[in-house]
Amino acid sequence: MNKAQLVEAIADKLGGRQQAADAVDIVLDAIVRAVVAGDRVSVTGFGSFEKVERPARYARNPQTGERVRVKKTSVPRFRAGQGFKDLVSGAKKLPKNDVAVKKAPKGSLSGGTATRKATAKKAAAKKTAPAKRAAAKKTTPVKKSTATAAATKKAAPAKKSTTKKAAAKKSAAKKAPAKKSTAKKAPARRNPARKTTAKRAAARRK
């Protein structure tokens, strides 16, 4: 079956040859563009189309037998689905009044929007995760500040003790000059003795 025969086979179901030709062209174009872009086109019950990378290799020319180097290339590949394989092998029989390929389940055709919503939720979760981490980081310095405050409170009595020691030293320094002054007053006691000797000398002269 070629493309023209395929169009004829579905023309009655689509309401005309032109509509069938347009439908076939649109479907094939969508598959080709997706595979070229590197996407995988999977049809449930039929198969999947995908792009496969072939590395550079050596091959032989079948006519001359000469060894030839083949460059790296990309080729399309079709993998038949299990339902398709079962129909071809005869494990299952073709339905007479129904399509051979399984119909898409309800809600699967709107899967694009569902996947978009799921990806949007994942993106939102990724955005909120760093925000939570940043909030956790902001709260940790508060604990450090409380610890430092407690440390300063504990250190405060030490400062008071040092001030008390300094006050004691100052008071001791003030008391020390008082002792010196008493030591200086000691020579004042010698003055009465000098006066008595002077009186005795005056009495002898008389």
- Give 95 or 23, the one with higher predicted confidence: 23
Residue 69 lies in a domain: yes
d(CA 2, CA 133): 61
CB-facing half-sphere around the CA of 175: CA atoms within 13 A: 6
Q: How many domains are contained in the chain?
A: 2
Look at strands 67-70 and 47-54 and give their pairing: unpaired
Residue 64 lies in a domain: yes
Residue 88 shares a structural domain with residue 51: yes
Average pLDDT over residues 113-141: 54
Taking residues 172-192, report their average pLDDT: 50
Looking at the fold, whether 30 and 53 belong to one and the same domain comes out as no
Q: Which amino acid is at 20?
A: A
- Which of the four pLDDT bands, split at 50, 70 and 90, describes residue 51? very high
- Band (pLDDT 50/70/90 cuts) for residue 204 is confident
* Type of residue at 92: K
59 and 68 Cβ atoms separated by less than 8 Å? yes
What is the pLDDT at residue 120?
55
What CATH number is given to the structural domain containing 62? 4.10.520.10
147 inside domain? no
| CB-neighbour burial class of residue 44 (10 A; exposed 0-12, middle 13-18, buried 19+) | middle
In tens, the pLDDT along 71-84 reads 999 999 999 999 99
Domain-located, residue 99: no
Alpha-carbon dihedral angle through residues 137, 142, 148, 152, given to the nearest 10 degrees: 170
Range of the domain at 79: 46-92
Can you tell me whether residue 81 is helix, strand or coil? coil
Instruction: Tell which residue, 78, 95, 91, has the closest CA to residue 43.
Output: 78
Look at strands 73-80 and 47-54 and give their pairing. antiparallel
Spatial distance between the Cα atoms of 129 and 10, rounded to a whole number of angstroms: 53
Beta strand 67-70 with 57-60 is: antiparallel
